[in-house]
Amino acid sequence: MVFTIDTLLFQVLPYVPVALFIIEAIRRYRQRPFSYSSLSSQFLEGDRLFIGSVPWHYGILFVLGGHLFAFLFPRELIAFGSVPWRLLILEVTALIGGLVSLIGLVELTIRRLTRDRIRAVTNVMDLVVLGVLLTQVGLGVYIALTMRWGSMWFATIMAPYLKSVVLLQPNVDLVSVLPWVIKLHIVGAYVFLAILPYSRLVHMLVWPVHYLFRRPQVVIWNAEPGSLRSTGEPERGG
C-alpha cells in the first residue's frame, strides 16, 4: 500500500478527532461540568442575535440532519432522487438550508466582531470556532452550487466511505478521486469534531431534550426524607 496524503487525511486522521471528541467531551463533562454552557450573549444584545442565531441554528440543524439521513439511508435517498423533479426539490431545499445557515453565521460573525459588549465576552477559541464554521459552511454551499447532484454522489460515495470509517476499515479509494474542495470539506468536518470538546460547541451535546419528559417541580433532599433531624430535642428556655 502506498502511503499518500490521502491516506493520512482520510484513513488515519478520522480517528483522531473521533477519539478526541469522545474522550474529551466525557472528561470535560465529568471534571469541569461548570464549563458546559450555551454561553448565550442574548442578555447583552438581543436584536442582532435574533437575525443571526435563529437562521443559523435551524439552518445548520436541517443541513446536518440531511447529511445524517443520506449517510443512514443512501438507498432510499437514491430511490427518491431517481425522478428528476423530486431530485430538484431535494437539492434546492438542501441548498436553501445551507444558505440560511450561512447567512445566519455571517450575521453572527459580524455581530461578534463589531459589538463592543459581545467582544468583551469573546475569546480566541470563539474566533477559531467561527473560522472553522464559516469555512465549512461556505465550502458546503459552494459544493452544493457547483457540484450537482450532491445528494446522489453523497449517497454513492460518501455514505460508503463514512460507513467504512465507522466499521474501522476506511476505504480511501472512494474519496481520493473527489475534487479537492470536497476533500477540504471532509477534513473540515474532522477538524470541527476535534475542536468541539474544547470549545463552546459542547452546548450542542447538552441540548435539553429531557425537559420534555420531566415533572415541573424538582425537590432535592440531602438525605432520604424522614431520616433527617429526628433526634433533636426541643430547646429549653430562650
Please give the grid coordinates belonging to residue 156.
454513492
The one among 19, 23, 26, 39 contacting another protein by CB under 8 A: 39
169 forms part of the interface with another protein (CB under 8 A): no
Tell me the closest approach of the beta carbon of residue 229 to another protein, in angstroms.
4
Tell me the closest approach of the beta carbon of residue 163 to another protein, in angstroms.
31
Q: Which is nearer to another protein, 34 or 180 (CB)?
A: 34
Q: Which is nearer to another protein, 169 or 231 (CB)?
A: 231
Q: Which is nearer to another protein, 116 or 168 (CB)?
A: 116
Q: State the binding string over 93-122 for another protein (x if CB under 8 A, else -).
A: -----------------------xx-xxx-
Please list every residue from 52 through 71 that binds another protein, using CB under 8 A: 53-54, 56-58
Q: What is the DSSP string of 32-75?
A: -GGG------TTT--HHHHHHHHHHHHHHHHHHHHHHHHHH-HH
Q: What count of other Cβ atoms lies within 10 Å of the Cβ of residue 43?
A: 9
Exposure of 59 by Cβ count < 10 A (0-12 exposed, 13-18 middle, 19+ buried)? buried
Q: Name the residue type at position 89.
A: I
212 forms part of the interface with another protein (CB under 8 A): yes
The one among 1, 2, 219, 237 contacting another protein by CB under 8 A: 219
Tell me the closest approach of the beta carbon of residue 231 to another protein, in angstroms.
6
Q: Helix (H, G, I), strand (E, B), or coil: what is residue 3?
A: coil
**Could you tell me the CA-to-CA distances from 28 to 37, 52, 67, 70, 237 in Å, in that order?**
12, 28, 27, 31, 53
Longest dimension (CA), the chain: 91
Tell me the closest approach of the beta carbon of residue 148 to another protein, in angstroms.
30
Q: Helix (H, G, I), strand (E, B), or coil: what is residue 237?
A: coil
Using CB under 8 A, which of the segments 64-72, 130-138, 177-185, 196-204 binds another protein? 196-204
The one among 41, 101, 136, 151 contacting another protein by CB under 8 A: 41
Tell me the closest approach of the beta carbon of residue 165 to another protein, in angstroms.
28
**Could you tell me the CA-to-CA distances from 38 to 18, 111, 179, 200, 223 in Å, in that order?**
22, 17, 36, 7, 31
Provide the binding-site residues for another protein, judged by CB under 8 A.
Answer: 32-46, 49-50, 53-54, 56-58, 116-117, 119-121, 123, 125-126, 198-200, 202-203, 206-212, 214, 216-235, 238
